Structure 1
Amino acid sequence: MANVSRWRGRRGPGLAGALLLTVVLAGCGGDGYEPAGPFRPLPEDPPPQVGPPTESTPPAPGDPADPGSGERDGDPNVVASGLTVPTGLVVLPDGSAVVGERDSGRLFQVFPDRSPAKELMTVAGVDPAGDGGLLGLALSPTFGEDGLLYAYVSTATDNRVVRFPLGGTPNPVLTGLPRGETRNGGGLLFGADGTLFVGTGDTGNAALAQDPASLGGKVLHVDVFGQPVGAGPVYSSGHGNVTALCTGGPGTLFATDDAVEGPDALDRVVEGSDAGWPQPGPASQAPVVEVPAPEGGLGGCAVSGRSVFLGALDGKRVHAVQLDGGGAPVDEPTDFLAERYGRLRTVVIDADGALWITTSNRDGIGTPVEEDDRVLRVVPPGGADDSPL
């Protein structure tokens, strides 16, 4: 794995741009993209029960129609199975998690004790063409009072952020994000102050990333209503495809960038910064660490103390990056779960320091087994890291 000295090698030649904040919503950016239909929310229904699993007769082990049934008596790392491309995941206050299927928009509640998963609802209006669909999920910063989830979704005409109560109608928060056949972003994260960071992609049009008139290839900063925070909404530019965002505490924000060519990157995101795609310049920031393409396909990140964990689709593993107090890598990253569960995507850490990880073997690229796709809950090697970053 490469360190930051190789960062310019990952950024291919392209168009330079200035980092100026102009709030103009860009159109679709991919060639050959064909919308499946307009965004049409479903009528609101009574919300389903969300809580500990209830007693029921378990279905036959391995039944793919019943997520969670596949490996309850087998691999202790597997908390749910039989899903299709689970992508967004959030941990609830009770220790269970909500996970969303990218293509179908279905949400399931999954449990750390490996009880059968519970289907909660389907997010309406999702268009999964290309690599779009239901992507990132985030809990409202006041979830205990309002019960709201936020989701980054692809529709027929744009990428957008919506919010909804479980069982309710999705309402738009931030719309008009560029939509393409590929590289649609999907990072979603609430900061400690309750404001929302949104990671977008360049939709296959590299010029958007450094175009001040586009919201593609950016990290955006908005409030819970989608209104710009500060001079926003653009917080940082020059990103290729921000698949995930994670934080190590106030003032520390990281983004995974799934590069179109060369190595992927873990970027430190600073307000007003430029990540150097497609054209590095004097003000561009070098990544924290780079991951060679065969080991990359970064799709998730989580921070525990000074440890950052990166889910790798192509690498079929989780990379562990140890940082010093200044946020620089201490040594070459290590990995775990290599080749054990196939393509690994989302990585989220819970209050006990365990990692929730989703597989992505039914995405048309992986080689699924009968139990796929799965949700894992794994204690990282060495346990939780409580060192301050």
Structure 2
Amino acid sequence: MRPQALLPWCLSLALAVPLVGLTPASARAATDYQAEDAVISQGTVATNHTGYTGTGFVDYTNVKGSYVEFSVSASAAGTSALTLRFANGTSTDRPMDLSVNGTVVASAVSFPATADWNTWATRTVDVPLTAGTNKIRATATTADGGPNLDRVSVAAAADTQAPTRPGQPSCSDIGEDGLTLAWGAATDNVGVTAYDLYEHGNKIAEAPGNATGKALTGLAPNTTYDLTVIARDAAGNTSPASLVVDCTTKPSSDTTPPTRPGTLAVSGVTANSADLSWGASTDDRAVTAYDIRSGTTVYQTVTSGTSATLTGLACDSPYTLNVVARDAAGNTSDQSNSVAFTTKACTTDGGVPSSIATLSTGWTIPWGTYWMPDGKTALVTERDDFRVWKVTKDGTRTQVGTVPNAVTTNGEGGLLGVAVDPKWDTNHHVYFMHTAAEGNRVVRMTYDGTTLSDYTVLLKGIKKNRYHNGGRLAFGPDGCLYVSTGEAQTPDLAQDKNSLNGKILRMTTDGKPAPGNPFGNYVYSYGHRNPQGLAFDRNGRLWEAEFGNSSKDELNLIKPGADYGWPTCEGSCNVAGMTNPKATWNVSEASPSGIAIVRNVVYMASLRGERLWRIPINGDNESVGTPTAYYVGTYGRLRTVTKVPGADQLWLSTTNCDNNGGAADGSDKLFRVTID
């Protein structure tokens, strides 16, 4: 039996939900210092009241100038949080001056009355400490003396200041398989501890904080690398990405390709796979890999042996495949003979893509697509131009406006997701996620069917960077708005439940945390690297697609409060408390963005993989069947896939014009896929 439909809590109760703020940093460990162990002037150690810690407390003499002085250690200079635990059983405030190493840093700090002398309270003040031992003194400022003082706790204040952006990178000592990357040093209020080196959003190396250069090895010859540098401090704060440098390795001195592979043969053909084997190639140095191809499109790479089971094939479909050998220099052999076969008939339920047609052309990075409630038109965003279009079912498009305050990041930021309010007929509200000057925002605008207006910020403070900005929006059956956010190239944020980054957020339509969220804030799930695909199945469950770094991309079933592992896990792992994905792919085969569900099947658009993955959900279980791929290498980088209301159809968009695709502006397309 399927569960009953969820109540639209986020729509009907939004005005009754208080805004729950996020704290800026994780909890900090504190060191306790007991007052009875400190230096006491005009006071005594007492035990005649209850509730104290340690062996007693200090009872100040009722004179001005009585004090308690603590010797406090600090590992580094900086601001620390000083918490004094006190009791004041009178009706009179007993203020004190707080000094550090003889200098008053907080004067006449209030210590008001507590219920009685057995009731303890705390007062926290930020104070500057030097590295090493510090003398902290709490001195009474009135003739009533100070309160009873139990202890002080000292915690290094959270460092929330990010390093500055590293200086312009440059390359030297460029060889066939390596180069030296140099950059200008970043600065930080405490200190830069490391530099992370990225190539097109994937971390490839790191260097210590006192370095301004790093030798990169293991690169491919005659290849251009798009490199940026990010500075990081001990608290995990990361700088904006440096400016980009494109560096091209030298052509290899090894120009001899491997020999042609031996005879390619096929056997064991099923609906979704085939067994292949071939004769070994030879090379003057070494064969490093074999690519199984259709034409020149690589389906699978084999690094060991001369056979493979090729999976992910579409059922009842013809294939013509060949194999080429590669060496470390990137030289490729002549292709083997070709083998042709047709996979077995489709036996799975849920239908399969049966046809694809071009619906609309002339696009430049169409990123988000969302249907209006009437199912007659959809809104489509363009990432770098910040434009919003109305598109009819026959592909006719009309610009309805732009989103103000949007900026690019020269990477993956800009105007991203769009969602339409389920009650649009009455409120005309639509929602966008976009990059702004200070970070990423969720905003609301009014759309009357023709024009956008009334820009309103609902949520800001989502950190941005060149890459890993997330950006997908979706309304759930509960009427709540779900938002995917990347970790902004700051992996530690994904595990911080008080951060908005590396999360799936759940919020009301007026911008408040949704009622029932697991941590009392916006966070619905965490441990995400760069989540982009969001879709709800027939049981109201949320599925999500997520970019990996260099190992595995993921399809996840999202549950409230669950930890999806990043940066501890990439793909599946055996770490207690972390939730494994339902399916994974090598990043060369996927790099997923949008997902949609038609007839209990997840369809996942892939960028680097240049294919549409079909992943059947196993009935109403929490598992999926064998993924299969369509349109491999045919249309380029596939960004967003969206179900067409009232039909077994999908809209599928490309983003070949982005910085990874490099196609001319206006080259992207919108396709219609029919499921039979």
TM-score (structure 2 length as normaliser) = 0.45
Gaps of 5+ in 1: 1-20, 36-74, 384-389
What is the Cα-based RMSD across aligned positions, in Å? 2.2
1:327 deviates by 2.7
Is 1:171 the counterpart of 2:465 in the alignment? no
Q: Relative to 1, partners in 2 of residues 1:150 and 1:370: Cα closer, same or farther, differing over 3 Å?
A: closer
**Would you say the 8 A contact 1:243–1:298 is kept in 2?**
yes
Cα shift readout 1:272-297 (whole Å, capped 9, x = no counterpart): 10001111430111101112111111
- Structure 2 CA distance for aligned equivalents of residues 297 and 198 of structure 1: 19
Indicate the larger mover: 244-253 or 221-230.
244-253
2:317 paired with 1:23: no
Q: Which whole-Å CA distance do the structure 2 matches of 1:345 and 1:301 have between them?
A: 9
CA distance in 1, matches of 2:528, 2:579: 11
The C-alpha deviation readout for 1:359-381, integer Å capped at 9, x for no partner, is 0000021153786211112113x
Q: Which structure 2 residues correspond to residues 348-367 of structure 1 after superposition, within 5 A?
A: 348-351=642-645, 352-367=647-662
Match for 1:309: what amino acid? Y
- Asked if 1:225 is matched to 2:510, the reply is yes
Structure 2 CA distance for partners of 1:277 and 1:118, relative to 1, 3 Å: same
Q: Does 1:235 align with 2:529?
A: no
Q: Match for 1:338 among 621, 632, 641? A: 632
Identity of aligned residues (%): 31
Q: What CA distance in whole angstroms lies between the structure 2 residues aligned with 1:297 and 1:373?
A: 18
Would you say the 8 A contact 2:443–2:456 is kept in 1? yes
Cα offset for 1:239? 0.5
Does residue 87 (structure 1) correspond to residue 374 (structure 2)? The answer is no
Q: Deviations over 1:130-154 (max 9, x none)?
A: 2101111111121121221111111
Structure-2 separation of matches of 1:370 and 1:172 = 30
Query: Counterpart of 2:493 in 1: which secondary structure?
Result: helix
- In the alignment, what sits opposite 1:63? none
Q: Is the 8 A contact 2:639 2:655 kept in 1?
A: yes
Q: Give the Å deviation of 1:76.
A: 6.8
SS of residue paired to 1:169: strand
Which amino acid in 2 is paired with 1:288?
Answer: K
Letter in 1 for 2:558: V
Q: Which residue of 555, 559, 569 maps to 1:266?
A: 555
Count of residue pairs brought into register by the alignment: 320
1:145-224 correspondence to structure 2 within 5 Å = 145-166=426-447, 167-224=452-509
- Give the 5 Å matches for 1:241-320: 241-280=530-569, 281-320=575-614
Note the C-alpha offset of 1:254: 1.0
Distance 2:617 2:671 in 1: 25
Corresponding residue number in structure 2 for 1:3: none
SS of residue matched to 2:560:
coil
Q: Report what 2:413 is aligned to.
A: 132
3-state DSSP of counterpart to 2:466:
coil
Amino acid in the other structure paired with 1:277 = W
**1:371–1:152 distance in 2 versus 1, CA, 3 Å:** closer
CA distance in 1, matches of 2:529, 2:600: 25
Pairwise CA distance, 1:226: 1.6
Q: Judging changes above 3 Å, is the alpha-carbon distance between structure 1 residues 268 and 377 closer, same or farther for their aligned structure 2 residues?
A: same
More divergent stretch after superposition (244-253 vs 259-268): 244-253
User: Does structure 1 residue 141 correspond to structure 2 residue 422?
Assistant: yes
**2:394, 2:388 → 1: CA distance?**
19
Counterparts of 2:621 and 2:356, CA distance in 1: 36
Q: Secondary structure at the match of 2:668?
A: coil
- Looking at structure 2, the residues matched to 260 and 291 of structure 1 have their Cα atoms a distance apart, in angstroms, of 12
Aligned to 1:59: none
Determine the structure 2 residue equivalent to 1:68. none
CA distance in 1, matches of 2:640, 2:524: 23
Following superposition, the deviation at residue 169 of structure 1 comes to 2.9
Partners of 2:592 and 2:483 in 1: how far apart? 17
Equivalent pair of 2:406/2:436 in contact (CA under 8 Å)? yes
Moved segments of 4+, more than 2 Å: 24-35, 367-371
**3-state DSSP of counterpart to 1:209:** helix
Greater relative contact order (Cα 8 A, min sep 6): structure 1 or 2?
1
C-alpha distance in structure 1 between counterparts of 2:470 and 2:664, whole Å: 27
Q: What's the CA shift string for 1:203-260, capped at 9, x where partnerless?
A: 1111110012311101111111121122231111100011121110344001111112
Q: Kindly provide the CA deviation profile for residues 26-66 of structure 1, in whole angstroms up to 9, marking residues without a partner as x.
A: 8887644489xxxxxxxxxxxxxxxxxxxxxxxxxxxxxxx
CA 1:96–1:77 in 2, change beyond 3 Å: closer, same or farther?
A: farther
Residues 241 and 257 in structure 1, CA contact (< 8 A), matched pair in contact too = yes
**Does structure 2 retain, via aligned residues, the 8 Å contact 1:98–1:107?**
yes
Question: Any conservation in 2 of the 1:112–1:377 contact (CA below 8 Å)?
Answer: no
AA paired with 2:606?
A
Indicate the residue corresponding to 2:37 in structure 1.
none
- Cα distance in 2 for residues equivalent to 1:297 and 1:76: 22
Q: Which residue of 1 aligns with 2:669?
A: 374
Any idea what SS the aligned residue of 1:194 has?
coil
User: Per the alignment, do residues 76 and 272 of structure 1 end up closer, same or farther by CA in structure 2, a change over 3 Å counting?
Assistant: closer
On the 8 A contact 2:657/2:666 being kept in 1, the answer is no
Secondary structure of 2:433's match? strand
Give runs of aligned pairs for residues 320-335 of structure 1, distance below 5 A: 320-324=614-618, 325-330=620-625, 332-335=626-629
Is 1:78 aligned to 2:373, yes or no?
A: no
Aligned to 1:97: 378
Q: Could you tell me how far apart the structure 2 residues matched to 1:194 and 1:78 are? A: 33
Given that 1:192 and 1:249 are in contact with CA atoms closer than 8 Å, whether structure 2 keeps it comes out as no
Hey, what's the Cα distance between the residues in 1 that align with 2:608 and 2:538?
29
Q: Which residue number corresponds to residue 395 of structure 2?
A: 114
Match of 1:56 in 2: none
Q: What's the TM-score, normalizing by structure 1?
A: 0.78
Whether contact under 8 Å (1:255, 1:266) holds in the other structure is yes
Q: 1:79, 1:110 within 8 Å by CA — same for their partners in 2?
A: no
More strand, by proportion: 2
Q: Specify the alignment match of 1:62 in structure 2.
A: none
Report the Cα distance in structure 1 between the residues aligned to 2:538 and 2:375, rounded to whole angstroms: 22
Q: Residues 365 and 192 of structure 1: is their aligned pair in 2 closer, same or farther, counting only changes over 3 Å?
A: same
1:220 and 1:183, CA in 2 relative to 1: closer, same or farther beyond 3 A?
Answer: same
